[in-house]
Amino acid sequence: MGYLAAAVSARRRHLFGGVMSDIQYRESITDILQQLRKAKTAHLRWRAYAMALTSGYAVEEGQLPVEHTDCQFGGWYYGEGQALKDYPEFTGLEEIHHQVHAVYKDIFQMLFDKPEKSIWRKLMGKSASSDKIGQKVKIEKELERLSDQSRLMMEALDKLEKAVISRHESL
C-alpha cells in the first residue's frame, strides 16, 4: 500500500474511531446516504399528506403528525441522523424542520378547531360564509408558507447530502 493510500486509510480509521476497512467505510457511508435519502422521502411524503388534508382528502391520523419530533423525519433526525451532527449543514435542519411543523400546526388548528361564536359576532350578524372565505384565504397563505419552509428544508438536506459525499470523496 502506497503512502497516500495508507494515509487515507489511517484518516478514515481516525474519523470513525477505530479500525475500519475500506469496504466497511464505503458501506457505512452508503448506509448513511441511504438513511438521509429515506429521511428526505419521508418529509416529501408528509408534505404530500398535509397538502391532501387541506384539499379535503381523508388522511389517516398517524400519517400526519403535528409535532416535529413525531414524524418519520423527526425520528431519523433525533435518531440515526445524529451520526451527521458534526456537519454544520445538519445543525440548521432542526430549526427549519420545527418551523415546517409550526406552520402546519397553524393550518391544522384552522381546519379543525371550531371557535365559539362570541355574542358580539352574533349581534353584528357576521355570516358563517364570510368566516369560511376568510379562513380559506388564511389557509392558502399558510400553505404557501408551508411550501416555502419545506423547500428550505429540502435545500438544506441537499446541501447536507453533498457535504457528506464531498467530505468522504476527499478522503
84 inside domain: yes
Alpha carbons 111 and 54: distance in angstroms, whole number: 8
**Domain contains 124:** yes
Structural domains in the chain (count) = 1
- Is 5 a member of any domain? no
Report helix, strand or coil for 166.
helix
Q: So what's the pLDDT on residue 133?
A: 76
Q: Tell me whether residue 73 is in a domain.
A: yes
Q: Identify whether 119 is part of a domain.
A: yes
The residues, ordered by sequence, that sit 6+ positions from 20 with a Cβ below 8 Å of its Cβ are: 12, 13, 28
Q: Which residues of the chain have pLDDT under 50?
A: 1-8, 19
Residue 63 lies in a domain: yes
Whose cell is 446541501? That residue is: 159
pLDDT at site 33: 93
pLDDT digits (tens, 9 = 90+) for 107-130: 988 888 766 555 555 555 555 556
Pair 139, 107: CB distance under 8 Å: yes
Q: Does residue 110 sit within a domain?
A: yes
| pLDDT given at position 124 | 55
User: Does any domain span residue 22?
Assistant: no
Structural domain of 109: 31-169
Query: CA 141, CA 153: separation in Å to the nearest integer?
Result: 19
